[in-house]
Amino acid sequence: EDKVVQSPLSLVVHEGDTVTLNCSYEVTNFRSLLWYKQEKKAPTFLFMLTSSGIEKKSGRLSSILDKKELFSILNITATQTGDSAIYLCAVDPSNYQLIWGAGTKLIIKP
Amino acid sequence: DADVTQTPRNRITKTGKRIMLECSQTKGHDRMYWYRQDPGLGLRLIYYSFDVKDINKGEISDGYSVSRQAQAKFSLSLESAIPNQTALYFCATSDAVVAGVETQYFGPGTRLLVL
């Protein structure tokens, strides 16, 4: 059965800390892995990863994929209170039905 | 203006009632999706449509039906609502596979409470 597991489920850190969020997956056919940020309602797209070892970067956020070990990490450096959100990971198993993880709830304390 | 809109944004209904959630998009995408989100379970796919004549069941379609009235409109119906359908419902769109990958864009969500 295809599945996506995110860890930790929740995380509380102080402003300025660096955090690493994990996403592991098991799928029959892999096409891409996506990261989304969900603040109040709708998830918003962050990154799409298709190849191992190539880091995607946007400001203080970065992500990398390991297709051999079947996981991805999302790093956030110098965290700010505005980074508080649920971070969702999804895998496209090549059948157009994304498989979603349960999310990591990140809380940044001032 | 938002590219993907959902109505209503919040809805309270009673068990057994029929309700419809609507989704409209101005992105010109062919593909549209309906998800529900429950705490600790992530997003689960209910139905998806690749064009007006194409409707497919997702992971949890029982108790739901959909209608793709036009490229821009995709409605989700609960024929006889039950309390365990209380959830946050999202509509999403995508513009097919580009360079071998697909990105979905989400509406703001509809919070549904079934009493």
- Average of per-residue pLDDT across A9-36: 93
pLDDT band at A52 (very low <50, low <70, confident <90, very high): confident
Pairwise CB contact (< 8 Å): A97 & B58: yes
- Residue A1, chain B, CB below 8 Å: the answer is no
Integer Cα distance of A5 and B112 in angstroms:
26
Among the ranges given (A37-46, A91-100, B16-25), the one the predictor scored with the smallest mean pLDDT = A91-100
State the best of B3, B29, B37 to mutate against chain A, taking most chain A CBs within 10 Å. B37
Residue pLDDT tens, chain B, 115 long:
569 999 999 999 999 999 999 999 998 888 899 999 887 777 888 999 988 899 999 889 999 999 999 999 999 999 999 999 999 999 999 876 655 556 788 998 999 999 9
- What integer pLDDT is reported at residue B101 of this predicted model? 57
Q: Would you call A42 and B108 a contact, using CB atoms and an 8 Å cutoff?
A: yes
Average pLDDT over residues A66-93: 94
pLDDT at A69: 93
How close does chain A come to B14, measured CA to CA in Å?
A: 24
- Binary contact (A43, B100; C-beta < 8 A): no
As a whole number of angstroms, the distance between CA A73 and CA A89 comes to 10
Q: Compute CA distances B5 → A43, B55, B75, B103, whole Å.
A: 13, 20, 11, 17
Q: Which residue has the higher pLDDT, B50 or A25?
A: A25
- The span from the CA of B92 to the CA of A99, in Å, is 14
Poorest-confidence range of A47-51, A92-96, B13-17? A92-96
Print burial letters for A11-21: b (CB count within 10 Å at least 16), e (below 16). Answer: bebeeeeebeb
Chain A nearest CA to B115, separation (Å): 22
Nearest to A6 by CA among A28, A26, A21: A21
pLDDT of residue B96: 64
List strands edge to edge, sheet with B73-78.
Answer: B4-7, B19-25, B73-78, B64-70
- Whether A14 and chain B come into contact, CB under 8 Å, resolves to no
- Per-residue pLDDT at B75: 98
Look at residue B26 in the predicted model and tell me its pLDDT: 94
β-strands B10-13, B110-114: how paired?
parallel
Which letter does DSSP use for residue B8 in this model?
Answer: -
Contact A42 B90 (CB under 8 A): yes
Quick one: DSSP state of residue A96? S
Total residues found in chain B within this entry: 115
